[in-house]
Amino acid sequence: MKPSSDVTGLYRNFPAYLWVEDEETRTYLQTAWEGELHIKVLVAGGHGHLHAVVNAARNDYNTHVFGFRDRDFGGSNRARWNEDAVVVLTADVVEIENLLLDPDAIAACQVNTSGLNAAQVEQELTMLATPLTWWMSCRRTITEIRDAVVDDFLEHPRRDRVKSQGDAEAAITGSLWWARVLPTLQPDWGNVATIARKLTDHEASYRAMLSTGAWRQEFSGKEILRDLTTRIWTRKRPKDPECRITFVQEIARAQLDLNRVPQEIRELRTAIRRRIGHRAQVLVRRTYAGLTSTHPPPHVSESSPRHLILFRRIRRPLA
């Protein structure tokens, strides 16, 4: 059977493939997982594309393909990362960059030319987060409006069910969305008072996070980290995107050196390794032929040194 996607051919040389949203996430994981040979990290370019490529891979029975995405304003599935049904793993934090908002690692990183120590970096981070409360409340409210509109949204009917104007009207007006969701949109969201109340409630919630430290998980880590870059890396700074990616990489290296890689990132690696453990145990690469096989080449016996070396390399402990 012909694969349903041209990207299926990508999935031949590694025990596991992990699609992420952007280059920052890939750089972070590759640096934090120093020496990782079992998991190939690929960039999808946003969570919409990520879900599409993972689903396409899974439809072609590539069960060693996964996704890892920001939580955004939805929910995390971290508690279920080891379940077979979970193929796109969702972080606990709003954005993966939130895990880099680590004052100790930022202060210790090699591109800190500002001389700021960890306590001063903490002050800078809080100062950058403080003006974002209304922006975050606006984003959350917009997300709630969008979710309300698309809840049980209409599906395109099959061709054989629409052969007349009456059929077309029934496909729309007979839907659950038309009957249940649409009538609530105007009363719930179609007035300024509702929007004002939602915005003020959310802003108060975000403002409270500034005093508890919860903002570190709930505010936009991506925006804060970008604003912080010029305050930390004050000299001989390259242009973006090199600057942005290098800053991520150096903070991740500092986390490694200080043994401060977040538990969430460690658990992600462990979950994927556990779920493809059997594949990593038996995968032997026939590199000279550009193929992947679980068997030795025809001219190499099971007891030959070449085969044993390859097998030992793949079967090393995954812990």
In the predicted model, is pLDDT for residue 306 greater than 80?
A: no
Averaged pLDDT, 270-288:
67
As a dihedral over the C-alpha atoms of residue 260, residue 261, residue 263, residue 265, rounded to 10 degrees, the angle is: 170
Averaged pLDDT, 127-145:
95
- 32 vs 154: which has the higher pLDDT: 32
The pLDDT confidence band at residue 191, using thresholds 50, 70 and 90, is confident
- Give pLDDT, residue 189: 85
- Give pLDDT, residue 282: 53
- Give pLDDT, residue 307: 37
Ordered by start, the domain boundaries in the chain are 1-113+233-282, 118-219, 284-309
Return d(Cα 281, Cα 177) in angstroms, integer: 49
Average pLDDT, the chain: 87
Tell whether omega for the bond before 241 is within 30 degrees of 0, i.e. cis. Answer: yes
Residue appearing with tokens 């390259």: 238
The pLDDT confidence band at residue 1, using thresholds 50, 70 and 90, is low
pLDDT tens readout for residues 194-221: 899 999 999 999 999 999 999 999 999 9
Averaged pLDDT, 172-186:
88
